[in-house]
Amino acid sequence: MFESISQIFKQKELRSKLIYTLIVIVFFRLGCAITVPFLNPTALKSMVGAGQSSDFLSYLNVLTGGALADASIFALSITPYINASIIIQLLTIAIPALERLAKEGNDGQKKIQKITRYTTLGISLAMGLMYYFVLRNQQGVLNYYSGFSGVFSGIIIVSCFVAGTMLVMWMGDQITEKGVGNGISIILFAGILSRGPDAFVTLAAWWKLGADEPKYYFIVPLVVIVFVVMVAFIVFMTNAERRIPVSYAKRVVGRKMYGGQSTFIPIKVNMTGVLPIIFAMSFMSLPSMIESFVTPKEGGFWEKFFGLFHYNSMFYGVLYFLLILAFNYFYTAIQFNPVEIANSIRKNNGAIPGIRPGKPTVDYFSKVISKITLMGAVFLGLVAVFPIIFSMITKANVSLGGTSILIIVGVALETVRTLESQITMRHHKGFLE
């Protein structure tokens, strides 16, 4: 490990990329500390942090790494870009024109990226307006609510949100181009990781409460143990894969012989990453978002209905888990096509040992993918729902942030692999070695 770290700083190009990435992250964190004008950050932070807001705002605060609670210009963070990328990716399957662009190579990808950026602008504008109207329903958050001052302040607030999102997207592109790893993932990683000190402060406060309530002397060590076990479990499942053996027949081209080798096709247990959780969270946050716009009658039907979708309810946890399973299967079906893989193997004179080419190979892949998808879906569901179950058992307002841990671990592993590949690529042995 230490040898790999030393290799990074010994190579000038790699060292420059790493320093550039760190500089961009620093500027991103500085932007997260700049407050949007005409907002009361103290009132907003206490509202979101103390759980007085809707689950919708709490969900947004998780994805933005706490920037929403700080009322910063990066309150939207990279969320609109992620949503735009998901939408365009799904539309690529449904719209033939986008599918043709995706198959045109580098030029097509540039055009799709341009469309994604315009979509990000539209989504950020819509989300900025939505944020603003949600905040208008909260007393004491805005400095001006009516008249010319209210309209002017609203335009400035929404404009700051949109401009912040576009700037964060540009930062992500710069990291991808000139830095290390995927820029968008790194930005998301930095935002979520910045909430770590708050977690330690919370644990310290709970430990002090143990003098009056002894249960906290049990809860604090339990939270630490569960966190370590969850990280280890996520690392194991993220790296887990099913390797399907493939044997290629020998073929003669000119005077040379090709093939005759055995390899494997790796299929990851968690093929979809954190996307099913993001889909499910977006869907589950809709009732809370609607509740933020309207005030249901106390004790009425709608208050009971919206109460089912509160974070600490059993109905929320069960439906959340089932949605993750459904979205995982849906996204896997879009991402992984057994027919294309089987045809690719056959065209290269390959075959799976014991499986006939053609339809039997397709059926075999479908069966394997179905089993692996179920394991991956259950894994994601357990990681996402576990904080809810833990809070219900301990009767403490605990949010271990299973989704956040999953994102942090995934991005960290991806970045480490990128650095290792860069080191390997640049480390060539001399003729005399």
How far from 368 is each of 10, 328, 361, 376, CA to CA, in Å?
Answer: 44, 15, 11, 12
Quick: pLDDT tens for 78-98: 878 888 887 887 788 778 888
- At 343 the pLDDT is 84
Name which of 61-75, 120-134, 192-206, 266-280 the model is least confident about.
61-75
Decide: residue 204, CB within 10 A, 0-12 exposed, 13-18 middle, 19+ buried: exposed
- At 121 the pLDDT is 92
Name the residue with tokens 């190979």: 361
How far from 356 is each of 8, 195, 340, CA to CA, in Å?
Answer: 47, 53, 16
> In which band, very low, low, confident or very high, does the pLDDT at 52 lie, cut at 50, 70 and 90?
very low
More confident residue, 241 or 211: 241
pTM here is 0.76
| The two three-digit tokens of residue 171, written as one number | 């930062």
CATH architecture of 1-194: Orthogonal Bundle (1.10)
Alpha helices in 95-214 (DSSP H): 96-102, 106-136, 147-178, 183-193, 196-209
Quick: pLDDT tens for 418-433: 777 777 766 554 444 4
Quick: pLDDT tens for 257-302: 655 677 788 888 888 777 787 778 777 777 776 776 666 677 777 7
Mean pLDDT across 353-381: 86
Quick: pLDDT tens for 101-111: 877 777 888 88
- At 167 the pLDDT is 92
- At 335 the pLDDT is 76
More confident residue, 397 or 405: 405
- At 380 the pLDDT is 86
Mean pLDDT across 192-221: 79
- At 244 the pLDDT is 86
> In which band, very low, low, confident or very high, does the pLDDT at 53 lie, cut at 50, 70 and 90?
very low
- At 51 the pLDDT is 45
The single-letter DSSP state of residue 297 is P
More confident residue, 125 or 7: 125
Rounded (10°) CA dihedral 386, 388, 391, 394: -50
Mean pLDDT across 360-370: 87
